Chains A and B, each alone.
Chain A
Amino acid sequence: MYAAEISRGNPTAFVFLIDQSGSMVDRWGGGAKSKAQEVADAINNLLYTLVMRCSKGDDVLDWFHVGVFGYGASVGACLNGAGSSEDLVPISQIAANPAKLEDRTKKVPDGAGGLVESVVKFPVWLKPVANGGTPMCAAFERVKDVVARWSGEHSMAYPPTIIHVTDGESTDGDPTEIIEALKKSGTEDGDALVFNIHISSKGGAQVRFPDAEEGLPDDYAKMLFRTSSLLPEPLRREAAREGFAVTDGSRGFAFNADLVQLIQFLDIGTRASNLR
C-alpha cells in the first residue's frame, strides 16, 4: 500500500480544503496576520511546492492532479482560472494560471559561492477570504464526491491526499463520519489520506505529526487530530529521516504549522539530500 509509482501516466491527487468562514478574520496567535491570510499563505506555499516538485526544464510534468475548495458563505472550488472547475486539474494548469506573479526580493546564489539580491517572480493563487459560517460537513461531502470520482478514474494511482486547513469550529455538525467515508474513497493502493492543519486564534506551540491528542488545546484540535490519517509507512520513514519524532501512531496533523513536508516526503524520484 502507498507504493504506487507516481508518473504522468499514473498521477496522484491533492485536494486542498480551506476554511474561509468569518472567524478567519481573527488574528492568528496574537500576531499581525489574520488567520485567513495565514491560510492563504499556507495554501499558496503548498501549491508552490507541488509545482516545484513537478517543474522539469521548461515544463511542469503532470504527476499531480489538484483541486482547491473553500467553505464559508458557500462551498466550492476557489481558484481563478485553471482549477475553478469542480474537477481536479493537472498541476501544469495550476502552474500556468496563478492569480498574479508578485515581485519579491530574494537572495540567490551567484554561482561563485556568494549570494546576490535578485527580484524573483512569485506566484499567488489564493487571496484571503473570511465570510459566513463554517459548514465543514457540507465541505467534506463535496470533497468526498470529487475524490470518489477521481479515484474511480484512477484506480491504480497513489491514493489522493486531502489537506484541510481550518480554525476548527464546524457550524453544521461533527464531520467525523463524513471524513471516515472520504478516506474510503481511495484507490487500490490505499485509502485516501486526510491531513488536517489547525490554525488557532489562541496561538500555541507548533505541533507536527503528533501521535496522541494529549496536549492539544481544545476539543476542535482533538477532533481534527482523531480524523487525520495515520502516516503511511513510506511517509513515516521520510518524516523520521527528516528528524521528526514519529511513531506508529503519528497522524498527518499539524497545529499552528503547515505541512509542506508532506509534499516533500512523496517519492517521485531521486532528490538530493543537499538540496535545501
Chain B
Amino acid sequence: MTRCRGFSVPKSGRKDAENEDAFEVDLDRGAVAVADGATDSSFSRAWARLLVDTFRVWPLDPAADARALEAWLHRPQALWRRMLEGRPLPWHAQHKVARGAYAALVAAEVRADGDHVYWSALAVGDCCLFVVEDDRLEVAFPIEDPQAFGSTPFLLGTNPEANRGVADHLRQRTGRAARGARLLFMSDALAHWFLAAARGGERPWRTLDEAEDAGAFGALIGRLREARALRNDDSTLVLWET
C-alpha cells in the first residue's frame, strides 16, 4: 500500500516561518514536489511554495520540454508578482524584488501498476530524488556525485528572462521499480548527506526510517548537524513508500 510522509525543518537558529523549503504531495494523483528557495534572493520562500502548489494543482508532465516548463512557470510567476504588487517596500527590498526570486525544484509523478511503480521526474537545481530498492540505492537524480553539490546552481527564477538557459539545466528521468521500493525526495543539504553516505557504503535510508513523525525528523536533523555530517540548511524529506 502506498504510504507517504514529508517533513521540513529550517536552518538551526531560524524560525519555521523562515524555512525556504516547500513540499507538496498528492497521493491520489501520485504527484510529489520539493522546492528550495535560494537564501540569496528575497521572497524565495513564497516562490518555492508557489512552485510546489502549482505542480499539485496544475500538473506539468515531468517529461515536458524546456519550453513547456517555461510556459508552466508563467502562472506562479504572475502570482508571485501579484503578491508583491502595491506592497510598500524599503528601497533595498524593491531592488531585490527586481532581481527576482529563485528556487530549485524536483517534481515527479508516480503511478503504481501491478507489481511495479513507474515514475517520471524533472529537476532544475539541486533538490533530489533517490530510489531505494532491495536495500540498495538504485537511482540518484539529478545529482549522482556528492561532490557536484555547490552553492551556485542554476535555479528557476520569477523573472522569465532568468530562465532562458533552462534547457541546458533541465534534468528528466523515468524509471520502474518493484513494489516495495522507496522514493525519497530531498532538498540539497539532506540530499548531499544522503548521497555522500550512500556512496561511502552506508545505508542512510535506514537512518531516515527513524523519521516517523516531525519530532523524530527534527531530532534526527539536529543530531546530523551536531555531528557536522549535515550542513546547516533548511532540510526537507518526502518519503514515498510503494
Contacts and interface: CB of A to CB of B under 8 A. Distances in A.
A82 to B, nearest CB: 14
Interface size range of chain B in the complex:
35 or more
A7 B14 CA distance: 10
A215 interface: no
A112 B99 CA distance: 14
Given A269-B38, A272-B40, A272-B152, A52 B95 contact: yes
A55 B163 contact: no
B155 interface: yes
A271 B232 contact: no
A189 interface: no
Contact of B92 (A60, A111, A268, A269): A60
A272 B41 contact: yes
The 8 closest A-B pairs by CB, nearest first: A269-B39, A272-B102, A271-B40, A272-B155, A55-B92, A270-B38, A121-B91, A273-B152
A95 B92 contact: yes
B77 interface: yes
A268 B11 CA distance: 12
Interface of A: 5, 7-9, 51-53, 55-58, 60, 95-96, 101, 108-109, 111-113, 120-123, 241, 267-275
B41 A52 contact: no
Tell which of A8, A52, A270, A275 has the most Cβ of chain B within 10 Å. Answer: A270
B42 interface: yes
B38 A113 contact: no
Contacts of A121: 91, 94
B81 to A, nearest CB: 5
Given A270-B188, A274-B155, A56 B99 contact: no
Given A109-B100, A241-B152, A270-B153, A275 B93 contact: no
B98 A272 contact: no
B24 interface: no
A7 B13 contact: yes
Contacts of A241: 152
Contacts of B43: 57
